[in-house]
Amino acid sequence: MGAWVLHVDLDQFIAAVEVLRRPELAGLPVIVGGRGDPTERAVVSTASYEARAFGVGSGMPLRIAARKVPDAVILPVDHEAYAEASEAVMATLRGHPGATVQVLGWDEAFVGIDADHPEQVARDLQRAVLDRTKLHCSVGIGDTLVRAKVATGFGKPQGVFRLTAANWLEVMGPRPTKDLWGVGSKVSRRLAALGIDTVADLAAADPAALAGEFGPRMGPWYRELGRGEGAAVVDDTPWVARGHSRETTYQQDLTEPADVDAAVRVLAEAVLDDVAAEGRPVIGLTVKVRYAPFETKAFTKRVPETSDRDVVLARVLELAAARIDRARAVRLLGVRAEMAMPDDAREGHTPTRGGW
């Protein structure tokens, strides 16, 4: 028996849930985003494979997506439906004998399993998920979390692929660093400035050079990613949120300072409600602003640990007043509060792309 990490990733999850609810949409280009109105400011949450064939992708402005696929069916986001479908999938994974399940989001999870034939386990999981939910998934198999996660991309859709120390550099070595989980475009450009263009380059990079560019913790960590190394044990300890955030894209730009202040206050109050439910003190704040037409800035400030709602609100408003340019029109605002972590929280961190 061997210990394996399986990464289960649902194929076009949100679009697939919508097609299950509306079978007549099967085979059509389906785009899900915002309130389903491409005349409003919103982005694509997901697109069916038929829509992706036209170049539509997650995060694309909905109006551009509609322009790329004039015949697309555009639907509003329905969080409750996706959460319900996701829970059914995760319950199915947990029901597999001997499985340890670490949920990453609505549509993906790591599964730790001891098995002689991990491909057979992967196919069993695919079949079980399909039987219970009518949703298809792809499975990456690895000897670390990173390798399993990256492997899934080679198995999509509905496939299985294995990446281990034995074939990691053969498969990933020639690829650009941005193909790694946890290395986005910005980091990839910084690596390129050091002469590191491919995964193989990163795997062989000088740790001291990486530490000089990214710091003593992140530098060596990026080299570890380049080798596909890192955690090899799936951890099913319940995830504890490090922070809570809210953001809003406004249908009309905010041009008056008073309107900006009021909008920041609304977001901060919502975040504070989320924080209050956690029962942990706030230790950091971030205010995010997107100026028209599309320049985004984020301003972060550490604050003395506090659970006083009024104090946190005052600090958010101070940060916004000090850093947001009142002469510019505002398209989006966001507020995030970082909380102190409990002693028994899951250790380490999992690489992700983008987000807050």
Reported pTM: 0.81
- For position 343, what pLDDT does the model report? 72
Average pLDDT over residues 200-222: 94
Asked if pLDDT for residue 356 goes beyond 50, the answer is no
For residues 1 and 98, the model is more confident at 98
Asked if pLDDT for residue 86 goes beyond 90, the answer is yes
* Spatial distance between the Cα atoms of 159 and 163, rounded to a whole number of angstroms: 13
Asked if pLDDT for residue 192 goes beyond 70, the answer is yes
- For position 239, what pLDDT does the model report? 74
Residue 35: phi, psi to the nearest 5?
-100, 15
> Which string of DSSP letters, residue by residue, matches 27-54?
TS-EEE-TTS-TTSS-B-SEE-HHHHTT
| Contact status, residue 72 vs residue 30, Cβ threshold 8 Å | yes
Average pLDDT over residues 223-242: 90
Active centre residues (catalytic):
108
Contacts with 124 (C-beta within 8 Å, 6 or more apart), sequence order: 96
Q: What is the dihedral of CA 111, 117, 120, 122, to 10 degrees?
A: 20
Residue 29, CB-side half-sphere exposure with 13 Å CA sphere: 17
pLDDT tens column, 132-149: 999 999 999 999 999 999
* Spatial distance between the Cα atoms of 202 and 180, rounded to a whole number of angstroms: 10
* Spatial distance between the Cα atoms of 27 and 55, rounded to a whole number of angstroms: 16
- For position 238, what pLDDT does the model report? 79
The phi-psi region of residue 45 (left if phi > 0; otherwise alpha if psi is between -120 and 50; otherwise beta) is alpha
**CA distances in angstroms from 131 to 126, 135, 156, 327, listed in the order given:** 9, 8, 19, 57
Beta-carbon neighbour count of residue 292 at 10 Å?
14
Asked if pLDDT for residue 352 goes beyond 50, the answer is no
| Contact status, residue 324 vs residue 286, Cβ threshold 8 Å | no
Burial 315-325 (b: 16+ CB within 10 A, else e): bbbebbeeebe
pLDDT tens column, 285-320: 999 999 999 899 999 999 999 999 999 999 999 999
CA 88 from chain centre, in angstroms, equals 20
* Mean of pLDDT over the chain: 93
* Spatial distance between the Cα atoms of 15 and 82, rounded to a whole number of angstroms: 10
Q: How far apart are the first and last CA of the chain?
A: 40
| Contact status, residue 339 vs residue 282, Cβ threshold 8 Å | yes
Strands 160-163 and 137-142: parallel
3-state SS, 151-212, equals HHHHHCCCCEEEECCCCHHHHHCCCEHHHCCCCCHHHHHHHHHCCCCEHHHHHCCCHHHHHH
User: What DSSP designation does 342 have?
Assistant: P
